[in-house]
Copies of this chain bind each other. A is one copy, B any other.
Amino acid sequence: MPEETISSRYTAINFVQKYALFSEQWTPKVIAQMNDYQFKVVKIEGDFIWHSHADTDETFIVLGGTLRIDFRDGAVTLNEGEMFVVPKGVEHKPYAETPVRLLLVEPCGVLNTGDQGGERTMRNDVWI
């Protein structure tokens, strides 16, 4: 853990402020950690790739915009103020017709492309 002052230890994490720190899409940024789980903000627009996470569920919380998560046998649409937990091992493909601000909750070390890999894979340990 980095050296901290008392004042920084007791500082609120503000979602709007965190989103203002970056513009690139599909690049999750860690903003907080609880035990071995992390909270990540990410901006997305358009189609992601089909993938799954064999070892963990993954939580999507929509803080702005409308997200659709496609499954092989259905889909769920999430508006601002809504969440969904994708069960482990279930193939899914996020899609956003217009820009979406997401909050992800998942264990440390989870890759955005899950078991699929490929060019859309991003670093999973970038804090802002």
CA distance A11 to B107 in the complex (A): 23
A22 close to chain B: CB less than 8 A: no
Interface of chain A residues 1 through 25 with chain B (CB within 8 A): 6-7, 9-16
Q: Is the CB of A57 within 8 A of B83?
A: no
| A7, A32, A79, A88, most chain B CB atoms within 10 A | A32
Q: How far is the CA of A75 from the CA of B7 in the complex (A)?
A: 9
| Residue ID in chain B nearest A84 by CB atoms | B12
Indicate if the CB atoms of B82 and A10 lie closer than 8 Å: no
How often does this chain occur in the complex, in copies?
2
* Size of the chain A interface, CB-CB below 8 angstroms: 38
- Which residues, 42 to 91 on A, are CB-close (under 8 Å) to B? 56-59, 63, 71, 73-79, 81-85, 88
Contact A11-B58, Cβ < 8 Å, known A32-B83, A85-B32, A105-B34: no
A12-B78 in contact (CB<8A): yes
Of the listed residues A56, A77, A82, the one surrounded by the most CB atoms of chain B closer than 10 A to its CB is A82
Q: Note all chain B residues with C-beta closer than 8 A to A57.
A: 33-35
* A26: Cβ under 8 A from any B Cβ: no
CB-defined contacts of A7 to chain B, threshold 8 Å: 74
